[in-house]
Structure formats: C-alpha cells, structure tokens
Amino acid sequence: MSWLPSPSTARHLFYGVLIGFSLSIASTSVISAYRKRKEDINTANVGSRPIELRSDEILDGVTGLIDGSAHKGNTPLLRINSLSNALGVEILGKAEYLNPGGSVKDRVALRMIEDAERDGLLHPYTGSRIFEGTVGSTGISIATIARARGYDTTIIMPDDVALEKVKALEAFGADVERVRPASIYVNLAREYALHFTGMNTPGQSEALPRTGRAHSYATKMAAPSVAVTAVAGMNGNGSGNENGNGHASFDEDEETRTRPRGYFADQFENRSNFDAHFTGTGPEIWRQTNGEVDAFVAGAGTGGTIAGTGQFLKSMTGDVLVVLADPEGSGLYNKVKHGVMYDHKESEGTRRRHQVDTVVEGIGINRVTKNIELALPVIDDAFRITDAEAVSMARFLVQRDGLFLGSSSAVNLVACVKLVRKMGWGNGEKVVTILCDSGTRHYSKVCTLDFGWRLFSELIVWLQRQ
C-alpha cells in the first residue's frame, strides 16, 4: 500500500480541495450579487437607465435641436388616428412644428445660413444682417438661428399675416417691415441687402447699381460690372470659385472678412432650400417608414419641401406618388394639371388684393421659382383645397385628435383624404405629409372664422360607416 499518500499529505490535499471549492463558490456568489445589483439599478425606475455622460446627447445650442442638422435625429412621424381609422390607411404627419423655431422652415433657414458661412458669404459676430421676404415662418426660423449665430435680421412681410408671427419676430429682435400684400416684399428684401452692404463698403456709400440683382457680397461691391446674386445659388452665376453646392466662394482678407454685410437669403431661389429636404426630410421619412411609403403629400410656397423630399423618395422607389396640396388663389394646381400657371381668381375683373387671397398662409404661389422647377418633374397629381375645407379640417383635428395645427398642415391633410378616396385605398397604405407649424401662429385668422367644422366631421363619420 505504498502508493497511498501519508495521512499528513492526504489531509493537506483534502484541505486544498475544500479551500478551492469554497473560493469558487464565494467568487461565483460575489459575481452574481454584483450583476443582480447592477440590474436592480438599471430597472429601479421604469424606463430609466444608469446616470452616465454621453457626449452625443449634448446638443450644440439651439441649432442642435433642429432636425436634419448634423447634431440631431428626426422629428417624429405622427399617426393621425381619426383619419387613419376612418379611411383604413396610415395617415402619417411629420411633426415639423416640434422644431425650436416652430416650423419646417427651421431646416431651410439653418441650411441657408450654414451654406452661406461655409462659402464665406457670412461671418458671425461681424455686424452682418440677414434680409428676407416672407409671410412669417421662414422669417421666424431665420431670426431664431441668426440670434444664436450672431447676426441681425430684417424681415419684410405682408401686412395681412397673422399677428402672432409679427410678435414672434419682434421677440427675437428682428426688424419687421410690413407692406401691402404683393410680391414686391421679396424684392424689397433684396434691395435692402444691397443697400446695407453698400453702406458698409468703402467707396460705395449709397451710390449702388440697381441691376435688379442683390450685390450682397461685400468683397464684390467694388466691381459692379460683375453680377452676383445674393445666394449665388441655382443659376451658378456667382463670381469666384464654384463649390459643390452651386454657391460661390472666394478668398478674403481679414479686413474684408470682418466687414458687416447684408445677405439676402432668397428662400424662393436658393438651392439650399431644396438641399435641406433632399438630405434631411426625405431620408428621415424613408428610415421612419422602413422604406414603405405609398404617397407623399405637401403644399408648396417656395417649392423646396415637395421638391427635395419628393425627389429623394422618387430616387429610392419610383412607385411613391408625390402629390401637391394647393390652396385657393394659387396657380400651381393648374400648372401641374394643365401645364399653365393660372388661377381663375387672376382673371381680369376678379383679382383680389392679394395674388393668393386665402386664409391659408405659407403655401400657394403664382410664379415658378427655381425650387418649384425642381419639384414639377416629380409631382404626379394635385388637389385644390378651399378655405372652408382647410378650416374645417383644422377644427376637426382639435376635436378628434387634440392636434392644434396651422392652416397649411390642414390643407395637406385634406389633400391626403382626397388622394385616398380617389385611389380607392383602404388596405393600410402609408400616406406621409408635413405638419408644417402649430395653430398657435394662426389664432387671429383661422380661429375667428366660422366655416362649420361639423360638415367635415360628418364626412368622416360617413367614411367610418362604409
């Protein structure tokens, strides 16, 4: 039995195994207890998580809140329950009114200013001023971003827009000039930018050439024979080096760079308008719907939203329908349906005080802008929406969905209903539209009108019974 260990060795071996087994059990228990404690911390409050610092959740000022920027994700797609349930489809509204400036125009304003800075046309905190002609939302967006970026703003707008928009602009310190409703307010913004730059350019004073184009580049004011548009955008006719955005860029010395200049944003003709939606709104909608979009419906004021978003969605799938929602008095409906920019209200003896005389603000136009030129090839259909339909829809949404939306959003949703009925859809098709802004900007106009929202409510009840 010499192979058996001595009693002393056996005892030591036994103690070693026992100690090893005890340590194994102890370490396993400690690890399990640690994991359980960590899980308890993570689930202590429903939906909470451990406190941690994440740099990707720290946004770069107010511009970081604007969807489509490099710092943020998406505005949500909101299912309009009442309409979706009634029609048997998915009516999805992109909630652009959640942007910090309160509208879809935040995207455009941010892109225009960023492109201008990138191209050397604007420099922050130099006393420079941004000029724009607008019915309100774009001006508010520009004023919001300009204040955050160190610019002053001058907004020219018709005197019949909702007073809430004027008050919002004034709150941001914008200089607001209200003029009689006419297309001239855009031209005034261009001329003011020209004048402002000339006053801050040595040797120019007020002796400025009136070429009909805004010489808003301070470095080019000394050479009036060179025509430079305020945004050097669509036409690519800016002097200097053309970059990938179609904007002009050029080198400046320090004295010129810090000189105050006027910049005419020109949302109607500025390619940045289109780009903001082609690279922002369109891709967001595509991701949020998992690439399942049957139709995209939008109105057009400048044309940038429907052009940029429509072109992107068409590039991803040719099956998506791009549909225009056009208010009374606008000529775009006839342009899409008949190839002629015309509205019966423009006929001799019937034209009213405004070319788009309607309670709806922000959409509708009677000229073809550069952004609309980009939209026309992708628009498949169009619907004309009356004031009564728009106001009725706005009030219906408050009553049925608790959504207080602006008049342009209501126009878009009426067009969605008309499209679904025309196509005979009712099998869960997805129709996406833009919820442009909130109804809080339209109290003084839409909320004082009585077109009888019950008529539209009765229509939806009838649809539910079919």
- Boundaries of domain holding 363: 62-98+274-464
* Same-domain status, 206 and 68: no
Distance CA 188, CA 155 (A): 10
On whether the CB atoms of residues 220 and 196 are closer than 8 A, the answer is no
* Same-domain status, 197 and 340: no
Residue percentage of the chain with pLDDT more than 70 = 71
Task: Enumerate residue ranges in the chain where pLDDT < 70.
Answer: 1-5, 10, 38-57, 67-73, 181-184, 202-252, 342-359, 441-466
* Same-domain status, 198 and 254: yes
**Residue 355 falls inside a structural domain:** yes
* Same-domain status, 197 and 242: yes
State residue 344's pLDDT score. Answer: 63
* Same-domain status, 164 and 293: no
**Residue 53 falls inside a structural domain:** no
Q: Could you report the per-residue pLDDT of 263-301, keeping only the tens digit for each?
A: 999 999 999 999 999 999 999 999 999 999 999 999 999
* Same-domain status, 237 and 307: no
Which CATH number do you get for residue 319?
3.40.50.1100
Residue by residue, DSSP assigns 13-60 as: HHHHHHHHHHHHHHHHHHHHHHHHHHHHHHTSSTT-------GGGS--
Helical segments of 366-427, H only? 370-375, 387-401, 407-423
Distance CA 241, CA 251 (A): 9
* Same-domain status, 338 and 354: yes
**Residue 254 falls inside a structural domain:** yes
* Same-domain status, 125 and 196: yes
DSSP three-state, residue 291: coil
Mean per-residue pLDDT of the chain: 78
Q: Could you report the per-residue pLDDT of 229-249, keeping only the tens digit for each?
A: 343 334 333 333 344 444 444
What total of structural domains would you count in the chain? 2
Catalytic residue among 94, 105, 220, 418: 105
Residues contacting residue 416 through CB under 8 Å, at least 6 positions apart: 83, 91, 295, 297, 431, 433
State residue 356's pLDDT score. Answer: 45
**Which of 215, 242, 264 corresponds to the end of one domain?**
264
Instruction: Enter the pTM of the model.
Output: 0.76
State residue 161's pLDDT score. Answer: 79
**Which of 241, 264, 287 corresponds to the end of one domain?**
264
**Which of 206, 232, 264 corresponds to the end of one domain?**
264
State residue 59's pLDDT score. Answer: 75
* Same-domain status, 241 and 358: no
State residue 459's pLDDT score. Answer: 59
**Residue 409 falls inside a structural domain:** yes
State residue 66's pLDDT score. Answer: 83
Tokens (6 digits) for 352: 């009213």
Q: Is 335 a catalytic residue?
A: no
